[in-house]
Amino acid sequence: MQSYGRLLIIALLSGLSGWFLFHHTLETNKAEAPAAVTTSANTPVFNASFPDLNGKQQPLKQWQGKVIVLNFWATWCPPCREEMPELSAMQQQYKDIVIVGLSTDDLEKTKEFIKTAPVSYPILAGDMEAMSFSETLGDDRGILPYTVIIDTKGAVVKTFFGRINQQILEETLIPLLKVSASK
């Protein structure tokens, strides 16, 4: 009976910790200051290349000139999976942006997962190289999902730790789209 009580307390504490972490991350994303802006000359964004679901290398440079939402995710990550339908809907709604999902799993695991959860945006698989790349773009905490907003010239405009939603993204994207439309 004591073991059952201990397990119940551990489960309750784990659940509360997870709830707190999720809401804290969500509030941090809302209040987070913009990332330091870099120029295309010192950003590694357009030098990176990762395989698509067919194994063909896809350079991020192919999307230069568009606003990019680069979303680092993993198949085992519940918040990553939860945000994918909303990202997919945004890709269909906003034709002037490109959302790129960069999986931190290997190619085979990523392919199997996407068969069960298709999206409307490009999916690339980077395994450990993707995690290293996310670090170079500011993910100093190793948190997934991790989302990076990149302007048309390759400058990192803003980063988000944890799950994002359409409202949070639009607060950053709408002004960027207005700037790129006025050029």
CATH code where residue 71 lies = 3.40.30.10
Do 62 and 144 belong together in one domain?
Answer: yes
Domain hosting 74: range is 33-181
Question: What is the gyration radius of the CA atoms in the chain, in angstroms?
Answer: 18
pLDDT at 179: 73
Q: What is the mean pLDDT of residues 17-46?
A: 48
| Cα 145 to Cα 2: distance, rounded to the nearest angstrom | 38
Say how many domains are in the chain.
2
148 close to 70: Cβ distance less than 8 angstroms: yes
Mean pLDDT of 97-101: 97
Pair 86, 58 in one domain: yes
Question: Do residues 23 and 55 both lie within one domain?
Answer: no
Share of the chain above pLDDT 70, in %: 74
- Kindly state whether residues 54 and 126 are assigned to the same domain: yes
pTM reported for the whole predicted model: 0.77
The pLDDT score that the predictor gives to residue 7 is: 53
Alpha-carbon distance values, 127 to 49, 102, 105, 130, 145 (Å)? 12, 9, 4, 6, 14
Same domain, yes or no, for 16 and 86? no
Same domain, 117 and 133: yes
**Do both 55 and 23 map to the same domain?**
no
Residues 92 and 148 in one domain: yes
Token pair listed for 153: 């010239």
Residue 183 has pLDDT above 70, yes or no: no
> For all residues of the chain together, what is the average pLDDT?
83
C-beta atoms surrounding 87 within 10 Å: 24
Whether 13 shows a pLDDT value over 60: the answer reads no
The 3-class secondary structure across 45-90, one letter per residue, is: HHHCEEEECCCCEEEHHHHCCCEEEEEEECCCCHHHHHHHHHHHHH
CA distance 90 to 61: 21
